[in-house]
């Protein structure tokens, strides 16, 4: 009964929020000894609001007006150092960004657009049935997946509300364009006509409309990018996350794994492998992505 009421509450509160006057920002404030990087502003149901990142913990939250006065950003803080590292790395065509964890195993599940019905329930259930709740998991989500999989999306929100999962809502672009016959360097976000800023912020707005606070983590569709797109993503404030353990591609589990599986049923093989690793107790602990870099 409790579950039903919670589900109904989530269902009827869907897209209750209106987001208007959405803008990119770039300034810092100090609040209760914490430094926050303010990187978006918008009207949330007509109230002036901001997307704010704690530059030490990498947690994001929504702050309401009035804000504390801007103060100079501390570029020695953890977040700005990570951004600095990110833009001073080489720019590979595949798997750019941070690909290994400094603090235990991280699980990331991509929710790219898919024509498959439902989602990998067995994957998320295995997490919260085998590890202390709430289990940290990162969802690199797309708007096109959300639109086609409302019920699955509600179930994930329900598990988050029930504190079975601690979800980090990662950005995987709204549209995740893909052209089966094109080479990688003209595919995904490198395709002609891609408007990357719009593709990224469009997903942020969708999440905010659903009452979700977007995180600071981004994964390129197909893990494909170039210098220009990586710099665009960095300028939007994001920490780019690749993977050293794409299970369906045969990459093996390591102590510093950032595991990549698909939660959208597009790559059952990776989920099969992950479930086997969990069953064999090869994964004993799962860490939060915010502690990984
Ligand atoms: Zn994808």
Domain ranges in the chain are 12-74, 80-291
Q: How many angstroms separate the alpha carbon of residue 78 from the centre of ligand 1?
A: 28
Mean pLDDT of 256-278: 98
Q: How many angstroms separate the alpha carbon of residue 71 from the centre of ligand 1?
A: 37
**Residue 15: band (very low, low, confident or very high) from pLDDT cuts 50, 70, 90:** low
The model's pTM? 0.94
Q: How many angstroms separate the alpha carbon of residue 290 from the centre of ligand 1?
A: 21
pLDDT of residue 129: 98
Q: How many angstroms separate the alpha carbon of residue 61 from the centre of ligand 1?
A: 25
pLDDT (tens digit, 9 = 90+) per residue, 178-229?
999 999 999 999 999 999 999 999 999 999 999 999 999 999 999 999 999 9
The hierarchical CATH code for the domain 80-291 is: 3.20.20.370
**Residue 16: band (very low, low, confident or very high) from pLDDT cuts 50, 70, 90:** confident
pLDDT of residue 31: 86
Q: How many angstroms separate the alpha carbon of residue 115 from the centre of ligand 1?
A: 13
pLDDT of residue 2: 57
Mean pLDDT of 109-120: 97
* pLDDT(134) > 60: yes
pLDDT of residue 200: 98
pLDDT (tens digit, 9 = 90+) per residue, 54-91?
999 999 999 999 999 999 999 999 999 999 999 998 99
Q: How many angstroms separate the alpha carbon of residue 178 from the centre of ligand 1?
A: 9
Q: How many angstroms separate the alpha carbon of residue 141 from the centre of ligand 1?
A: 8
Q: How many angstroms separate the alpha carbon of residue 111 from the centre of ligand 1?
A: 6
Q: How many angstroms separate the alpha carbon of residue 266 from the centre of ligand 1?
A: 10
Q: How many angstroms separate the alpha carbon of residue 198 from the centre of ligand 1?
A: 17
Q: How many angstroms separate the alpha carbon of residue 113 from the centre of ligand 1?
A: 7
CB 28 within 8 A of CB 50: no
* pLDDT(110) > 90: yes
Q: How many angstroms separate the alpha carbon of residue 73 from the centre of ligand 1?
A: 33
* pLDDT(7) > 70: no
pLDDT of residue 9: 54
Cα–Cα distances in angstroms (integers) from residue 224 to residues 96, 129, 149, 176, 204, in the given order: 8, 34, 25, 11, 20
Q: How many angstroms separate the alpha carbon of residue 77 from the centre of ligand 1?
A: 30
pLDDT of residue 32: 83
pLDDT of residue 11: 53
Average pLDDT of the chain to the nearest whole number: 95
Mean pLDDT of 148-168: 98
């Amino acid at each position: 009964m409790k579950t039903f009421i919670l589900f109904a509450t989530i269902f009827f509160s869907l897209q209750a929020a209106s987001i208007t006057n959405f803008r990119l920002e770039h300034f810092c404030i100090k609040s209760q000894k914490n430094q926050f990087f303010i990187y978006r502003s918008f009207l949330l149901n007509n109230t002036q609001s901001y997307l704010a990142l704690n530059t030490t913990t990498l947690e994001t939250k929504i702050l309401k007006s009035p804000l504390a006065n801007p103060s100079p950003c501390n570029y020695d803080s953890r977040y700005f150092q990570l951004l600095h590292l990110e833009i001073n790395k080489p720019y590979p065509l595949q798997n750019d960004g941070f690909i290994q964890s400094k603090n235990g195993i991280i699980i990331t599940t991509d929710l790219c657009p898919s024509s498959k019905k439902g989602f990998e329930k067995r994957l998320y259930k295995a997490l919260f049935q085998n590890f202390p709740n709430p289990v940290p998991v990162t969802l690199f989500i797309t708007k096109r997946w959300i639109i086609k999989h409302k019920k699955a999306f509600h179930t994930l929100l329900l598990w988050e509300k029930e504190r079975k999962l601690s979800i980090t809502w990662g950005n995987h672009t709204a549209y995740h364009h893909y052209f089966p016959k094109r080479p990688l360097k003209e595919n995904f976000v490198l395709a002609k006509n891609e408007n990357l800023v719009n593709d990224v912020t469009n997903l942020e707005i969708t999440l905010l409309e659903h009452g979700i606070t977007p995180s600071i983590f981004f994964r390129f569709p197909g893990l494909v990018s170039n210098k220009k797109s990586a710099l665009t993503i960095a300028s939007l404030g994001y920490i780019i996350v690749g993977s050293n353990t794409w299970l369906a591609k045969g990459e093996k589990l390591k102590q510093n794994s950032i595991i990549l599986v698909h939660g959208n049923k597009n790559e059952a093989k990776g989920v099969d492998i992950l479930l086997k690793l969990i069953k064999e107790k090869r994964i004993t602990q799962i860490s939060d992505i915010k502690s990984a870099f």
